[in-house]
Structure 1
Amino acid sequence: MTADSLVIGGMAAFSTVDYPQHLAATLFLQGCPWRCHYCHNPHLIPLQPGDETITWQQARRHLKSRQGLLEAVVFSGGEPTIQKALLPALQQTRELGFRNGLHTGAPHLKLLEPLLPWLDWVGLDIKALPSDYEIITTNRHAGPESWAAIEALQKAGVDFECRMTWHGALQLPEQVITVGVRLADQGVRRFAVQIARTDQMLNDFIGAGYLSAEDKQRVQNTLTPFFETLNIRD
Structure 2
Amino acid sequence: MAKIHGFNKLTLLDYPGRLAATIFLGSCNFRCPFCHNAGLVLAPESEPLIEAEEVLKVLRKRKGILDGVCVTGGEPTLDSGLTELLAQIKELGYPVKLDTNGTRPALVRELVDAGLVDYVAMDIKNSPEKYAETAGIRHPDLESITRTVEYLKSGVVDYEFRTTVVKELHKREDIEAIGQWLSGSRRYFLQNYKESEQVIRPVFTSYSREQLENFQQILQKTIPQVEIRGI
User: What TM-score results when the alignment is normalised by the length of structure 1?
Assistant: 0.89
User: What TM-score results when the alignment is normalised by the length of structure 2?
Assistant: 0.90
Q: Offset at 1:222? A: 2.2
- Choose which of 120, 129, 154 in structure 2 pairs with 1:131: 129
Amino acid corresponding to residue 147 of structure 1 in structure 2: T
Amino acid corresponding to residue 143 of structure 2 in structure 1: P
Q: Does 1:115 align with 2:111?
A: yes
Q: How does 1:80-229 map to 2 (within 5 A)?
A: 80-117=76-113, 118-142=116-140, 143-155=142-154, 157-184=156-183, 187-200=184-197, 201-204=199-202, 207-229=203-225
Q: Does 1:19 align with 2:15?
A: yes
Whether the aligned pair in 1 keeps the contact of 2:179 and 2:218 (CA below 8 Å) is no
- Structure 1 spans left out of the alignment, 5+ residues: none
- 1:80-112: CA deviations, max 9, x gaps? 000010001111111110001101102222332
Q: Offset at 1:27? A: 0.2
Q: Offset at 1:153? A: 2.6
For 1:152 and 1:221, the matched residues in 2 are separated by 25
For 1:91 and 1:168, the matched residues in 2 are separated by 40
Between the two proteins, the alignment pairs up a number of residues equal to 226
Whether the aligned pair in 1 keeps the contact of 2:102 and 2:149 (CA below 8 Å) is no
Q: Offset at 1:155? A: 4.4
- Structure 2 spans left out of the alignment, 5+ residues: none
For 1:180 and 1:47, the matched residues in 2 are separated by 34
What is the aligned partner in structure 2 of residue 67 from structure 1? 63
Q: Secondary structure at the match of 1:45?
A: helix
- Choose which of 52, 55, 59 in structure 2 pairs with 1:56: 52
- Find runs of 4+ consecutive structure 1 residues off by over 3 angstroms: 46-52
Q: Secondary structure at the match of 2:220?
A: helix
Q: Offset at 1:145? A: 1.5
Q: Secondary structure at the match of 2:182?
A: helix
Q: Offset at 1:46? A: 4.4
Q: Offset at 1:51? A: 4.2
Q: Secondary structure at the match of 1:162?
A: strand
For 2:43 and 2:87, the matched residues in 1 are separated by 22
Q: Secondary structure at the match of 2:152?
A: helix
